[in-house]
Amino acid sequence: MGKPVILAVDDDVSVLEAVIQDLRRKYGATYRIMRAASGQAALDTCSQLQQRGDAVALFLSDQRMPGMSGVDFLEKAQTLYPAAKRALLTAYADTEAAIKAINTAKIHYYLTKPWDPPEEQLYPVLDDLLEGWNEQYKPPFEGLRVIGPRWSLQDYQVRDFLSRNQVPYVWLDPERDSEAVDLMQRFKLDDSKLPALLFSDGSSLVQPSQTELAERVGLSTHAAKDFYDLVVVGAGPAGLAAAVYGASEGLRTLVVEPEAPGGQAGSSSRIENYLGFPSGLSGADLARRAYVQASRFGAEFLTQRVGMIRADNQYRLACLSDGREVSSHVCLISTGVNYRRLDAPGIDRLTGLGVYYGAALVEARSCKDEEVFIVGGANSAGQAAMHFSKYAGKVTMLVRGDSLENSMSKYLINQIAETSNIRVEVHSQVLEAIGGSRLESLRIGNSEGECVRPASAVFIFIGAAPSTDWLPASVMRDPNGFVLSGPDLQVEGKYPRIWKEERAPYLLETSMPGVFVAGDVRHGSVKRAASAVGEGSIAVQFMHQYLARF
């Protein structure tokens, strides 16, 4: 689709030429300036523009024209382009008729001829009209389309991956959107080939793997070099902070992240206690800002998964899931944590089909006017409840404890209490998820017994656990899997002594020299985004101390 159109109409050739010249001089860079010598010719042009899918921003028509007056034309044009602004050019003697036309033909403005100088008599009026049109105008989406049913795990995973990587797309559900059915016929798709991605160049991708999806939307899946100064494993707040400070201080930095920058914090709908943002910001916005900042300093991002870290003399090697290895002087483990799985019948089977872990923000609009359940009582659960309350008819929080006081920030507790469609039920837990091809109801236990309640979606926030099984035994962890570092490696009698260096380990250094840890995956960390950012930042300073020894 081309630029929006400004259409000028006048039967006087000299006047029309003057109008066109003035319009092109001011608006030609942003709008396509077109002309017509009569009302009927202008209507024919409008029909052609409609067939091509072009938008008209403004009609500027003379009043006195043979066959069809300017007012008559603007009335007819309104049925074709109701959102377009309509202005009438009149002689001074016609001003009374123009004023009446503002009411009868819903004309937005009239201008008297001549309009010299246009900088004073023409442009200010048209600027206001065009500004108003642009505020309301939503251009047709011409980018990526995702076709898939709501109750499909793979469709949810595709949409979640795109959203968290901030790839713009439009989702079309064949059960709700007629456009989806038309596109499926055009691209010869059936239900067995969903989800399908349709690109603006006419190509498509059917049921893609995450690697295929990442490559197709332009994410890097292969490291540009074999060696880096610093390899960061995980792009949550800690990893992003390390990337910013490492790259800005001259370290050749590679960040390896299998899903999307931001980690668990990136899926937070609103962070309101982050320093420097009094109005709050979303986790996605925080991740986007940090990603751009690190990239500007030269950090490289790789959509891959690290399967092992090993030492080779003074080098540290990260083994990627595609079988390749990248080596570095130092490495940072900042893989964060994952939400704990809820152990109840039906939960695993219905995951992605109405049962979700974390905020699952891509599902928010789908929950319009429905009742959704939030399981958990910490900040992440509270943020999700506030976000879903904007869409769902009712949000019910199921909390095992006595209240929210011991697990949630005060500002969130106050917001929840002031939100009329959020209900908090204490001493409550999910005992079973019930449904066939999708979640239909929940069996809930509380202090009064058990009950079965209808449910279309449940979002689970019941604590977090690190995914550190991929680390070698030489990287020490506590019994819960969190990575030990610094002084914790030297606590007498508590953990096996495997630190072999003559020097003491640096504060965030793991039991494998040259490998550091930061963020929620670290034993003893404070589970806050700001704390993770601080750890990722200071880890780089300890890396410099480590590197200075060689």
CATH number of the domain at 163, please: 3.40.30.10
Residue matched to tokens 């990442």: 214
The secondary structure of 317-372 as a DSSP string is: EEEETTS-EEEEEEEEE---EEEPPP-STTTTTTBTTTEEES--GGGTGGGTTSEE
Q: How many other C-beta atoms are found inside a 10 Å radius of the C-beta of residue 181?
A: 14
Question: Would residue 346 count as lying in a domain?
Answer: no
Would you state the pLDDT for residue 271?
82
Give this prediction's pTM. Answer: 0.73
User: Based on the domain organization, do 291 and 330 belong to the same domain?
Assistant: yes
Residue type, 278: P
Would you state the pLDDT for residue 104?
65
Which tokens sit at 252?
């050749």
- Percent of the chain having pLDDT more than 90? 60
Q: For 540, list phi and psi in degrees, rounded to 5.
A: -65, -35
User: Based on the domain organization, do 11 and 132 belong to the same domain?
Assistant: yes
Span of 112-116, 287-291, 388-392, 480-484 with lowest mean pLDDT:
112-116
Torsion over CA of 349, 350, 356 and 357, rounded to 10 degrees?
A: -20
What residues form DSSP beta bridges with 372? 395, 457
Would you state the pLDDT for residue 431?
96
Question: Would residue 343 count as lying in a domain?
Answer: no
- pLDDT at residue 169 tops 70: yes
Would you state the pLDDT for residue 496?
62
Would you state the pLDDT for residue 359?
74
Distances, alpha carbon 517 to alpha carbons 185, 307, 490, in Å: 51, 16, 16
Helix (H) or strand (E) holding 25: helix 13-27
Question: What domain range is 186 assigned to?
Answer: 144-216
Distances, alpha carbon 491 to alpha carbons 336, 497, 542, in Å: 24, 8, 20
Q: For 118, list phi and psi in degrees, rounded to 5.
A: -60, -30
Would you state the pLDDT for residue 349?
94
User: Based on the domain organization, do 130 and 175 belong to the same domain?
Assistant: no
- pLDDT at residue 168 tops 60: yes
Phi-psi region of 326 (alpha: psi -120 to 50; beta: other; left: phi over 0): beta
Which tokens sit at 349?
């089977």
User: Based on the domain organization, do 318 and 171 belong to the same domain?
Assistant: no
What does DSSP assign to residue 401? S
Question: Would residue 309 count as lying in a domain?
Answer: yes
Phi-psi region of 166 (alpha: psi -120 to 50; beta: other; left: phi over 0): left
- pLDDT at residue 185 tops 80: yes
User: Based on the domain organization, do 326 and 423 belong to the same domain?
Assistant: no
Question: Would residue 166 count as lying in a domain?
Answer: yes
The CATH number for 507's domain is 3.50.50.60
Which tokens sit at 357?
């872990």
Residue type, 162: L
Would you state the pLDDT for residue 176?
84
Q: On the CB side of 176, how many CA atoms lie within 13 Å of its CA?
A: 9
Residues making up the chain, counted from first to last: 550
Q: How many other C-beta atoms are found inside a 10 Å radius of the C-beta of residue 210?
A: 16
Question: Would residue 455 count as lying in a domain?
Answer: yes
Q: Which of 136, 157, 183 is the last residue of a domain?
A: 136
Question: Would residue 334 count as lying in a domain?
Answer: yes
Between CA 210 and CA 218, with CA 216 as vertex, the angle to 5 degrees is: 105
Residue matched to tokens 């769902």: 392
User: Based on the domain organization, do 130 and 151 belong to the same domain?
Assistant: no
User: Based on the domain organization, do 328 and 416 belong to the same domain?
Assistant: no
Q: Which of 186, 216, 246 is the last residue of a domain?
A: 216
- pLDDT at residue 335 tops 80: yes
CA distance 36 to 502: 87
Among the listed residues 168, 169, 204, the one whose alpha carbon sits nearest the alpha carbon of residue 186: 204
Q: For 277, list phi and psi in degrees, rounded to 5.
A: -125, 80
What pLDDT, in 10s, does the model give residues 186-235?
Answer: 888 988 899 999 998 888 999 999 889 999 999 999 999 999 999 999 99
Mean of the pLDDT values across residues 522-548? 94
User: Taking all residues of the chain, what is their mean pLDDT, rounded to a whole number?
Assistant: 89
Q: Which of 136, 164, 187 is the last residue of a domain?
A: 136
Identify whether the C-beta of residue 78 lies closer than 8 Å to the C-beta of residue 86.
yes
Which tokens sit at 15?
């006047």
CA distance 325 to 308: 9
Would you state the pLDDT for residue 94?
64
User: Based on the domain organization, do 9 and 131 belong to the same domain?
Assistant: yes
User: Based on the domain organization, do 324 and 471 belong to the same domain?
Assistant: yes
What pLDDT, in 10s, does the model give residues 276-329?
Answer: 888 778 888 899 999 999 999 999 999 999 999 999 988 999 999 888 999 999
Q: How many other C-beta atoms are found inside a 10 Å radius of the C-beta of residue 394?
A: 15
Between CA 96 and CA 103, with CA 100 as vertex, the angle to 5 degrees is: 155
Which tokens sit at 37?
């010598």
Mean of the pLDDT values across residues 338-356? 92
What residues form DSSP beta bridges with 449? 446
CA distance 390 to 411: 18
Question: Would residue 222 count as lying in a domain?
Answer: no
What pLDDT, in 10s, does the model give residues 16-40?
Answer: 999 999 999 999 999 999 999 999 9
Q: For 531, list phi and psi in degrees, rounded to 5.
A: -65, -40
Span of 128-142, 230-244, 371-385 with lowest mean pLDDT:
128-142
Question: Would residue 78 count as lying in a domain?
Answer: yes
Chain centroid to Cα 63, Å, comes to: 48
Helix (H) or strand (E) holding 415: helix 410-417
Q: How confident is the model at residue 404 (pLDDT cuts 50, 70, 90)?
A: very high
User: Based on the domain organization, do 378 and 521 belong to the same domain?
Assistant: no
Would you state the pLDDT for residue 275?
85
Identify whether the C-beta of residue 331 lies closer than 8 Å to the C-beta of residue 230.
yes
User: Based on the domain organization, do 23 and 158 belong to the same domain?
Assistant: no
Q: How many other C-beta atoms are found inside a 10 Å radius of the C-beta of residue 545?
A: 11
Mean of the pLDDT values across residues 427-455? 94
Helix (H) or strand (E) holding 445: strand 441-446
What pLDDT, in 10s, does the model give residues 67-113?
Answer: 898 888 998 998 899 889 998 888 765 667 667 666 666 788 888 87
- Percent of the chain having pLDDT more than 70? 96
User: Based on the domain organization, do 21 and 130 belong to the same domain?
Assistant: yes
Q: How confident is the model at residue 492 (pLDDT cuts 50, 70, 90)?
A: low
Would you state the pLDDT for residue 528?
86
The CATH number for 93's domain is 3.40.50.2300
Domain total for the chain? 4
What pLDDT, in 10s, does the model give residues 362-383?
Answer: 787 788 888 999 999 988 899 8
- pLDDT at residue 245 tops 90: yes
Q: On the CB side of 221, how many CA atoms lie within 13 Å of its CA?
A: 14
